[in-house]
Amino acid sequence: MTTILRVLAELLRAFALLMAAGLSLPALAAQGGRFSDRLDVLTHFTPIWLAGLIVAAVLWAITGRQGRTTPVLALIGTLSALTLMIPEWSAASARTGGKVDGETLKIVQFNLWGLNRDPGATARWILATDPDIVVIEEGSGRPQVVLRALKTRYPHQTTCAEPSPCSTMILAKRRPISEGGLSTALSGAELPGAWATFADSRGPFTVVGVHYTWPWPAGPQQQQTLRLAKVIEGFPKDRLIVAGDFNSTPWSFSLRRQDRLFGLERRTRAIASWPAGDFTRLHFAIPVPLLPIDHVYAGTAWRTVDVRRGPLLGSDHYPVVITLAPAG
């Protein structure tokens, strides 16, 4: 039995070394995202690198703490991962709430997923949450059931410009005073999205909804950021709201550059929204979301009252619910 345990310990130590070496490399290479969009792809998986490196360090510790290569590699990779994630965690600790005088604006940002497993429950949750505006992505296919169920309460539905079909939509209770699709604003460029301008007691405000492509291959997503930045320059930014599935995590340098380029404050901080439930053909469900990729931005005239992740529904995303109020 002693021999078996010794062999098992050696195997675990070797496995820990391989983990530390294999995960510290991408964790370090992710720092290259500062100057390379290709390397920036690695930043999106930072929570995975971090979790694996912690496991490697634990395995090294429980198998006798022999050698120094494993803990050194794990420490270097962990520090690299933490430098990417800590700024977002720190921003997430910022206070929200406070006394609300007057009207508020509740928005649900939700990628419904074209293969939505339970569109009925999705529609019932949105109706029970009763937001003023719903920004949705992947609203075609099975989610058509959701749209039909919401039509009575949200009769005003703005989507992308024709002729291209689009599954990104802004649903609202109130009639917009103007609206349009981003395809038109971008002269046919690929950026699924829409905008709608509404009016309240303080005047007009605009909501923009978008759906970005994946961060790989590198390049197209960064181009979408540049194109969207040009679009939102056409709206007064103090009351502007931009929401969508950006397919980009806050520890990526691409999203950090977008935050600066938009000139708006991102109100969703460290709210993981993907993956949700059984989203693969192998029916493998991850118990908790790992990546914050659904974001809401707002201008200085808005104050964040509350922002939270919604429940597990039929999508591969969790919804995000945000309540805003006038800042002054």
Closest CA to 58 of 47, 43, 74: 74
Residues 50 and 85 sit within 8 Å (Cβ to Cβ): yes
Q: Are residues 226 and 257 in the same domain?
A: yes
Which H or E run includes 84? helix 69-92
Please report whether residue 97 resides in a domain. no
Please report whether residue 100 resides in a domain. no
Q: What is the pLDDT along the chain (328 residues), one digit of tens a residue?
A: 588 878 888 999 999 999 999 999 999 999 999 999 999 999 999 999 999 999 999 999 999 888 899 999 999 999 999 999 999 999 987 766 667 777 999 999 999 999 999 999 999 999 999 999 999 999 988 899 999 999 999 999 999 865 556 889 999 999 999 999 886 444 444 788 999 999 999 999 999 999 999 999 999 999 999 999 999 999 999 999 999 999 999 999 999 999 999 999 999 999 999 999 876 655 667 788 999 999 999 999 999 999 999 999 999 999 999 999 999 7
Q: Are residues 182 and 303 in the same domain?
A: yes
Q: Are residues 73 and 174 in the same domain?
A: no
Q: Are residues 75 and 199 in the same domain?
A: no
Dist CA 67 CA 79 (whole Å): 20
Q: Is the peptide bond before 176 cis (omega within 30 degrees of 0)?
A: no
Which H or E run includes 180? strand 178-181
Dist CA 284 CA 271 (whole Å): 22
CATH number at residue 281: 3.60.10.10
Looking at 92, 114, 133, the residue that finishes a domain is 92
> Each residue of 170-193: b (16+ CB within 10 Å) or e?
bbbeeebeebbbbbebbeeeebbb
- pTM for this structure? 0.94
Calculate the alpha carbon distances from 232 to 71, 82, 227, 248 in Å. Answer: 47, 32, 9, 19
Q: Are residues 180 and 319 in the same domain?
A: yes
Dist CA 60 CA 315 (whole Å): 39
Please report whether residue 99 resides in a domain. no
Q: Are residues 176 and 83 in the same domain?
A: no
Dist CA 19 CA 17 (whole Å): 5
Please report whether residue 98 resides in a domain. no
Helix (H, G, I), strand (E, B) or coil at 122: helix
> Helices then strands (H, E): number in the chain?
9, 14
Number of domains in the chain: 2
| Full domain range(s) for residue 205 | 105-326
Q: Are residues 163 and 135 in the same domain?
A: yes
Please report whether residue 32 resides in a domain. yes
Q: Are residues 156 and 56 in the same domain?
A: no
Helix (H, G, I), strand (E, B) or coil at 299: coil
Q: Are residues 61 and 21 in the same domain?
A: yes
Q: Are residues 264 and 151 in the same domain?
A: yes
